[in-house]
Amino acid sequence: MDESKRRFMQSAAAAAAFGAVPYASAQTPVREAAQGGASGEHVQSLTLNVNGRPYVLAVEPRVTLLDALREYIGLTGTKKGCDRGQCGACTVLVNGRRINSCLSLALAHDGDDVVTIEGLARAGRLSAVQAAFVEHDAFQCGYCTPGQICSAVGLIAEAQAEARQLSDAEIRERMSGNICRCGAYPNIVAAVKKAGGIA
């Protein structure tokens, strides 16, 4: 390679690296930004009991539960889909009830017990709902699957508390807050029935 080509390649690499710096700093994870400003007057402390383990966080009041789980704690199984509570990809269990974590502020859950998709398996074994989703092929791309599974766990607990068997139509209705863009709905219903002892 002659000197002019070498100099061109070096300048192109330097320009690319320099051009990426502003973008990289704009994409600083929320947890780093919050830690850097932890002495600010708006930062508040809270404890989240996530999957049986306590996490003490310092967050700004505007941080959602979803962002606290993903950006502060590092549990990225819970997905950010629409960020408006319409798709259900962010569904987690809080004190046993399913919620859209993108619509809920982290500070509202100080001291609460939160279960994410990562907390459902025990001792390396899938939960009944996870195993049923695998058995019935109740996912395709998998993006919505963590929310679908957490929602199904909540649905089954609700049905057991009501001491009733749910029909396919009722399962579809109760799972309607969780959208599967791949259209795996029949398999999802079959998985919920299997896990809930309905099938």
Residue 173's CATH number: 1.10.150.120
Tokens of 59: 């967050």
**pLDDT over 70 percentage in the chain:** 79
Report in angstroms the alpha-carbon separations of 12 from 23, 24, 182. Answer: 17, 18, 41
In a domain, 21, yes or no: no
DSSP state of 139: -
In a domain, 105, yes or no: yes
Domain identity same for 41 and 107: yes
Tokens of 113: 């017990």
Q: Which residues on adjacent β-strands are paired with residue 55?
A: 48
Residue spans of the chain under pLDDT 70: 1-41, 199
Residue 72's domain spans which residues?
A: 31-119
**Beta 44-50 vs 113-115: how paired, if at all?**
parallel
Domain identity same for 89 and 43: yes
Domain identity same for 97 and 134: no
Residue 173 CA to residue 184 CA, distance in Å, equals 15
Instruction: Count the domains in the chain.
Output: 2
What is the rounded (10 degree) CA torsion for 135, 141, 145, 146?
A: 120
Instruction: Please classify residue 44 by burial: count the beta carbons closer than 10 Å to its beta carbon, then call 0-12 exposed, 13-18 middle and 19+ buried.
Output: middle
Model confidence over 134-155: pLDDT tens digits?
999 999 999 999 999 999 999 9
- Residue 144 near residue 88 (C-beta atoms within 8 A): yes
Q: Residue 166 has what pLDDT?
A: 92
Residue 50's CATH number: 3.10.20.30
| End-to-end Cα distance, the chain | 69
Residue 189: phi and psi, rounded to 5, are: -60, -45
DSSP-derived 3-state class of residue 5: helix
Domain identity same for 49 and 114: yes
Residue 48 CA to residue 42 CA, distance in Å, equals 19
Residue 84 CA to residue 108 CA, distance in Å, equals 17
In a domain, 148, yes or no: yes
In a domain, 8, yes or no: no
